[in-house]
Amino acid sequence: MGNIKTHPELAGRYFWLLMTVAVGLELAIGLFSILLLPVSRPSGILPERGKAIYLLHGSLGLLLAAGGVYLFLKALVSRHRYQTLTALGLAGLLLAGLGGSLTAVKELRLLGMGIMLVGTPIAFFAYLTPLLADGAATEDDGAGAGPVGSGEVLKWREVARVILVDPSASVLLLSAADPDDTQGKEFWYTPGGGAHAGEDIKEAAKREVFEETGYRMPDIKGSPLLERKTSFRFAGKDFHQFERYFFVRVERFDVNPQGLTDLEKRSMTGSKWWRIDELLASNATVYPMDLSKLVADWLITQL
């Protein structure tokens, strides 16, 4: 089943992108300041020449520091897989800030400029790395958690999954079979799939549910309640996924897929609203394997 725990949602990829662009801009402004402002100018926080760009440089630095602290604390609390990168990014920003402070003193100005030119690139690449690592993510999913669309092998794909529960406490599951499995062994799984590059995890959950079931969910409230890391083989490919699960109450609806890939059409075999007692009594293969207990525990918290 993998590691399951409470998971506060980390900031979306757009926030990482904003941090990366802003750090790059800060580096560019810093280099421009070096060319604009005389290195031999007297000591002082604000130089007589170029006050505006110096204020912009400092203000952006403070905003970046706040963003870096926010990302680091969120990652620290949730034990996010990019925790080390958020720490490295924050360290780079603080190092650059220290260098900037030293430039106010004439005798330490060159040292401060050097420190800035070291710290800022560290922060830039710390925030850029997750974007590059997750950039290959696609919308499709794999066996053990749903069928794959393109069949592309990915490393720790960001996957959104939704446990849809109706008023009778039944949960919607989809079924599929590996097209490379000659025995055609069927398994059941929750709707969901991989997030697109730059896509918020909640938006990915809504999109995947619509594509696989035809149901348009309203905005999802709160953070993912469960997470797991899982590895499996499907359609001849190895997959490694970081999955986040949302529990959502809905009125029962008829499944009418709206955006299946060719492989999904060949892999998916059906859908069913399962009662908890049915899941407990069934010998069917269900992912996650203790789904019935998870749903039962969640329902208790809703009373």
Domain that holds residue 164: 157-302
Q: How many CB atoms lie within 10 A of CB 97?
A: 20
Quick: pLDDT tens for 257-279.
887 777 778 888 899 999 988 88
Residues 119, 201 within the same domain:
no
Q: Has residue 1 been placed in a domain?
A: no
Torsion over CA: 220, 226, 230, 233 (sign): negative
Question: Which CA distances in Å does 235 have to 149, 151, 259, 269?
Answer: 10, 7, 20, 15
Mean pLDDT for 108-131 is: 88
Q: Has residue 152 been placed in a domain?
A: no
| pLDDT on residue 59 | 87
Mean pLDDT for 293-301 is: 77
Q: What percent of the chain is predicted at pLDDT more than 70?
A: 83
Q: Has residue 108 been placed in a domain?
A: yes
Element (DSSP H or E) covering residue 51: helix 51-78
Over 80: is that where the pLDDT of 110 sits? yes
Quick: pLDDT tens for 83-105.
888 899 999 999 998 988 888 88
Residues 116, 179 within the same domain:
no
Q: Has residue 5 been placed in a domain?
A: no
| pLDDT on residue 48 | 67
| pLDDT on residue 139 | 34
Q: Has residue 235 been placed in a domain?
A: yes
Q: Has residue 7 been placed in a domain?
A: no
Number of domains making up the chain:
2
Residues 184, 242 within the same domain:
yes
Q: Are 10 and 80 in contact (CB under 8 A)?
A: yes
Confidence bin at 6 (pLDDT 50/70/90) = very low
Over 50: is that where the pLDDT of 289 sits? yes
More confident call, 283 vs 38:
283
Residues 163, 111 within the same domain:
no
C-alpha 295/C-alpha 165 separation (Å) is 8
Residues 89, 223 within the same domain:
no
Residues 128, 248 within the same domain:
no
Quick: pLDDT tens for 209-221.
999 999 999 888 8
Q: Has residue 86 been placed in a domain?
A: yes
Over 90: is that where the pLDDT of 171 sits? yes
Over 60: is that where the pLDDT of 180 sits? yes
The CATH number of residue 290's host domain is 3.90.79.10
More confident call, 117 vs 53:
117
| pLDDT on residue 50 | 63
Q: How many CA atoms lie within 13 A of 177 on its CB side?
A: 12
| pLDDT on residue 13 | 66
More confident call, 121 vs 54:
121
Question: Which CA distances in Å does 150 have to 51, 213, 293, 300?
Answer: 53, 19, 32, 39
C-alpha 49/C-alpha 268 separation (Å) is 67
More confident call, 77 vs 99:
99
Over 80: is that where the pLDDT of 14 sits? no
